[in-house]
Structure 1
């Protein structure tokens, strides 16, 4: 496993982390807790030390599973969770001291810990980034010892750029993958200059870039790939990275010849992200040990060639950029 610095935290985090949305059991179809726990253990066996979750994943179930695993392991683990999406309605005014404190205390109980390693605002409304008092509340929670560091999870590059104006924002979680290049063009250099860690989510475009989906693939009723293709439940960019499903499938077929021997399509997509040195960690999800192993081993694979990187870029410019670049 490769390790990279996460901003100014002093942490060396695994280049491949573990995204724990899927194991919450409420947005990715059926789950099995035994398989989920085994997936977490397998990832840790292979050197993963960064796990990302949120208080709304399975209404706290994901956090509780992670707490169980952390009790059973002796390795140092960094657990990041998120707060804000429990708000209903989800408005900027809800990001106040009372609510944020309550969310943090609930996550502390779920995670069975006294201090949250990294708390991230969970894709708040854009208006929140223009409210310094919100970040002052987070500073107070750090002073109280309830959180060690804080960052943000964003939908848009403009939100990421606003967030890093605040001096104590340690990390930004953002969607970046073969179908979403804009962060590398407009955000990565600014984050590097301010020594802000970059956590990459949706690296496989909700499975499109695994190469395993087909036109006739079926998704369960509680799978967001069924119910959120047009942003019906939350931001459309979270599902297939905002790319039309049919167009995404066609683009994946064009990518297949670029995948080097010995790599799966999913590993190719993860290795592409790791070619960007500003990225601290990538957090693909895994619902079973086999997926966790495939993801984790992507960090061991050789770099992609300049020619391959250029051909990926050309495909993005031609097929995907007109659909997503200006939206996020």
Structure 2
């Protein structure tokens, strides 16, 4: 496993982190707690030192906290998220920060997360949505500073609205945020235009989520793929989108000259090819996934020639609209 600096924080984290949404048994169907526990332990055995969870991920905080407490001899950093008080994802224009992240709500959410996890602090506390309209407004920044002073959090971050990397540029340039979490993958390369360079310039750590496009970049979604009732991917890949994915994956692998089995590793290496990225957090709901994803670190970044090919496969679409 290779390690990278998390922005200017002074923390060194595994470049392959652990995305813990899928193990919470909420929006993803099929996870079991026993297998999730084994996968988390195996990931740590293989060098993973960064785990990302959230208050809104069902049982995820509890499961993550249990493993981290059991692995107290290992250095493992845990990030969680505060959901917006108004319950609106993504953050729309015109919302006052007092409606989404008032200080009292931030504190209450953190206290709930600490109880659920059994931890005494989180290394990163992130707002689960963000709007640059909130800069210089509300009491969220003072609250974050007080929580840092109290030692219940180490760093402050935001999870940027899906497919809207430009919505946090003012925050990144302000110097008040330590990390940002953003969707960045072969299909959605938009963060590379402005956000990633801004983060590199201002020392902000970058946590990459959805590197495999919720499974679209694994090669396992085809025209006939169906998802169980209650699984969010049934909406994400609704209509003819599985067929669209299959066609685009076929073109992508043909252009690169790789097999479908090599696609997931290539997609992870793509995200890690930008030095502004601190860690990438694929979901790992099984031991086998933990082993496959962590071994990617040893392969290093893609070549300039490969990146040039992949630049042609950016896909301007939003699966939520």
TM-based fold match above 0.5: yes
Listed one character per residue, the Cα deviations across residues 160-184 of structure 1 (whole Å, up to 9, x for unaligned) are: 2022134231000000000011101
In the other structure, the counterpart of 2:185 is: 177
Structure 1: how far apart are the matches of 2:260 and 2:220? 16
Aligned pair partner of 1:109 in 115, 118, 135: 115
In the other structure, the counterpart of 2:155 is: 149
Contact conserved, 1:56 with 1:86, CA < 8 A, in 2?
Answer: no
Residues 1:84 and 1:68: Cα distance change in structure 2 (over 3 Å): same
Contact conserved, 1:275 with 1:304, CA < 8 A, in 2?
Answer: yes
Residues 1:271 and 1:147: Cα distance change in structure 2 (over 3 Å): same
Structure 2: how far apart are the matches of 1:302 and 1:172? 23
Residues 1:97 and 1:313: Cα distance change in structure 2 (over 3 Å): same
Contact conserved, 1:3 with 1:14, CA < 8 A, in 2?
Answer: yes
* SS of residue matched to 1:151: strand
* SS of residue matched to 1:212: coil
In the other structure, the counterpart of 2:125 is: 119
Listed one character per residue, the Cα deviations across residues 19-47 of structure 1 (whole Å, up to 9, x for unaligned) are: 00000011111211010011101111110
In the other structure, the counterpart of 2:233 is: 225
Residues 1:260 and 1:249: Cα distance change in structure 2 (over 3 Å): closer
Listed one character per residue, the Cα deviations across residues 121-179 of structure 1 (whole Å, up to 9, x for unaligned) are: 00145543463632222112112222111111102222220221342310000000000
Aligned pair partner of 1:99 in 81, 100, 105: 105
Structure 1: how far apart are the matches of 2:61 and 2:149? 23
TM-score (norm 2): 0.89
In the other structure, the counterpart of 2:169 is: 161
In the other structure, the counterpart of 2:39 is: 39
Contact conserved, 1:135 with 1:166, CA < 8 A, in 2?
Answer: no
In the other structure, the counterpart of 1:14 is: 14
Q: After the TM superposition, which segments of 4 or more aligned residues of structure 1 sit over 4 Å from their partners?
A: 259-263
Structure 1: how far apart are the matches of 2:232 and 2:268? 22
Structure 2: how far apart are the matches of 1:139 and 1:13? 23
Q: Looking at secondary structure, tell me which structure has more helix per residue.
A: 1
Residues 1:223 and 1:298: Cα distance change in structure 2 (over 3 Å): same
Structure 2: how far apart are the matches of 1:89 and 1:256? 37
In the other structure, the counterpart of 2:78 is: 79
* SS of residue matched to 1:138: helix
In the other structure, the counterpart of 2:253 is: 256
Aligned pair partner of 1:135 in 141, 150, 159: 141
Contact conserved, 1:55 with 1:81, CA < 8 A, in 2?
Answer: yes
Matches within 5 A, 1:262-281: 264-281=262-279
Structure 2: how far apart are the matches of 1:196 and 1:302? 22
In the other structure, the counterpart of 2:194 is: 186
Structure 1: how far apart are the matches of 2:313 and 2:166? 24
Unpaired runs of at least 5, structure 2 = 90-94
Contact conserved, 2:173 with 2:198, CA < 8 A, in 1?
Answer: no
Alpha-carbon offset, residue 70 of structure 1: 1.0
* SS of residue matched to 2:276: coil
Contact conserved, 2:84 with 2:100, CA < 8 A, in 1?
Answer: no
Unpaired runs of at least 5, structure 1 = 231-242
